Amino acid sequence: MARIDHLTAREAATIEAFVDGLWAERGLADATLAAYKDDLARFAAWLEAHHNLLDVDRSLITSFLAELGNAGVSARSQARLLSSLRQFYRYQRRNGVLAADPTSDIEMPTTGQRLPATLGEADVEALLAAPNDGSALALRDRAMLELMYAAGLRVSELVSAGRDQLNLRQGAIRISGKGGRERIVPIGEPAVAIVSDYLHRGRGALLGAAVCDRLFVTARGHGMTRQNFWHRIRRHAVNAGIQASISPHALRHAFATHLLNHGADLRAVQMLLGHADLSTTQIYTHVANARLQKLHAEHHPRG
């Protein structure tokens, strides 16, 4: 991977200005900006002394991608690099630095579609019911699982949620998602009842004399972490007898897929998930369709 500090001062400054400008425009996460920076540094290093980032055409970019392919770089990685270049050149075009975008008519490499692993409705019910020993930890874990499934939250959104983001009276939670985009998500009566039970009987018992503004807390009085929650999910999945391998986002994926299976509008699901682009949400239609095809094959007399 190329490093920006190995580039000329001019190229490094061009990349830094782009990253700063993109952050100001869209408030992207540090990891996303770092990925753009690395991809652009890689392309700039490939250009070497013959060209600079602001003096390229379509043929140079396609040659770069072709060399990556010949070197064994996957189509998915090529697509990510091209996406970074598109963002860069669209930014330069938008700000009047370039008259044209050299990536405008370059097609994305075919990557195939990686469908997210999800859970069937019976498995979800079993997982939600798994924390059942009545302890404060079980009350917390069940509330977290219920809320994640009810609202389709990312793990990071779930563990970072503050007590003040939850409105049980209205049955909703306010989420600040990727890029600082805020959304209000309804959570439904079952989740309201279970989260309310945790707040009345579990949270105070876990906190003791400690003070924490996080909604979900540990027995040490701190906010839950992604790693801790993932460890708990795996334990409950085993106890629930779930055979399938599940991801930390399994309940978020199930939320989207089950909504679509029951006839929800794709745009509505996009808003609930907090996706900036509808194409990100559309992958769940493929999951839902794959499930329907499997059911047809298993149960239809001519399947």
Q: Is 252 a catalytic residue?
A: yes
Per the residue annotation, which of 37, 140, 142, 154 is the catalytic one?
A: 154
> Comparing C-alpha atoms, which of 219, 240, 31 is closest to residue 131?
240
Rounded Cα distance between 23 and 219, Å, is 37
Give the amino acid at 168: L
Confirm whether 275 is a catalytic residue: yes
Is 86 an active-site residue? no
Nearest to 159 by CA among 210, 233, 211: 233
Rounded to the nearest 5 degrees, what angle is found at the Cα of 115, between the Cα atoms of 114 and 121?
A: 165
Looking at 232, 236, 252, 258, which residue is catalytic? 252
Decide if 149 is catalytic.
no
> Which is catalytic among the residues 26, 174, 178, 234?
178
Instruction: Give whole-number Cα distances, 216 to 74, 206, 228, in Å.
Output: 40, 10, 11
Which of 214, 232, 249, 258 does the annotation list as catalytic?
Answer: 249
37 counts as catalytic: no
CA Rg value for the chain: 23
The pair of three-digit structure tokens given for residue 162, joined into one six-digit string: 């503050």
**Active site (catalytic) residues:** 154, 178, 249, 252, 275, 284
